[in-house]
Structure 1
């Protein structure tokens, strides 16, 4: 399940970079891009929860980070619909997502990462 979750989040990262390029150019992204970004993150989170329920307790920090990332994403969407782009929200979303992704990759590639 950890490999499936990491794969989904890899797709999420790629789409997030694409969204960031559009945002940096002050252009609207393609209409399919944001729902796919959110959808792959949700599917990856489901796989993450399944891996957690199978006894991988190292992933609790990742769950907390995923909740924070999703919260910032919802706030970004809320303000974006009102026509505002608030840079600190974007930066918090991106920085937390980078920490989350690197942690997921470390747990996936190195199975003993974080174990005593």
Structure 2
């Protein structure tokens, strides 16, 4: 399940980079991009929870990061619908997502990462 979760989050990262390029150019992204970003993140989170229920307790930090990333994403969408782009929200979302993704990759590639 960890490989499936990491694969979904890799797609999420690719879509997120694409969204960031549009935001940096002050252009509206393609209509499919945001739902694809959110959908792959939700699928990855489901696989993450399944891996967690299968006994991989190292992933608790990732669950906490995923909740924070989701909260910042929802806030970004809320303010974006009202016409505001608040840079600190974007930066927090991105920086937490980078930490989350690198942690996921380390847990996936190195099975003993985080074990004593």
Per-residue deviation, 1:38: 0.1
Per-residue deviation, 1:44: 0.1
Partner of 1:63: 63
Partner of 2:33: 33
Partner of 1:97: 97
> Which of structure 1's runs of 4+ aligned residues deviate more than 6 A?
none
Q: Distance in 2 between matches of 1:33 and 1:20?
A: 11
Partner of 2:21: 21
Q: Distance in 2 between matches of 1:81 and 1:57?
A: 37
Q: Distance in 2 between matches of 1:75 and 1:13?
A: 19
Mark the runs of 5 or more structure 2 residues left unpaired by the alignment.
Answer: none
Partner of 1:51: 51
Mark the runs of 5 or more structure 1 residues left unpaired by the alignment.
Answer: none
What CA RMSD, in Å, does the superposition of the two structures yield over aligned residues?
A: 0.1
Q: Distance in 2 between matches of 1:114 and 1:2?
A: 15
Per-residue deviation, 1:47: 0.1
Per-residue deviation, 1:21: 0.1
Per-residue deviation, 1:90: 0.1
Partner of 1:85: 85
TM, length-normalised to structure 2 = 1.00
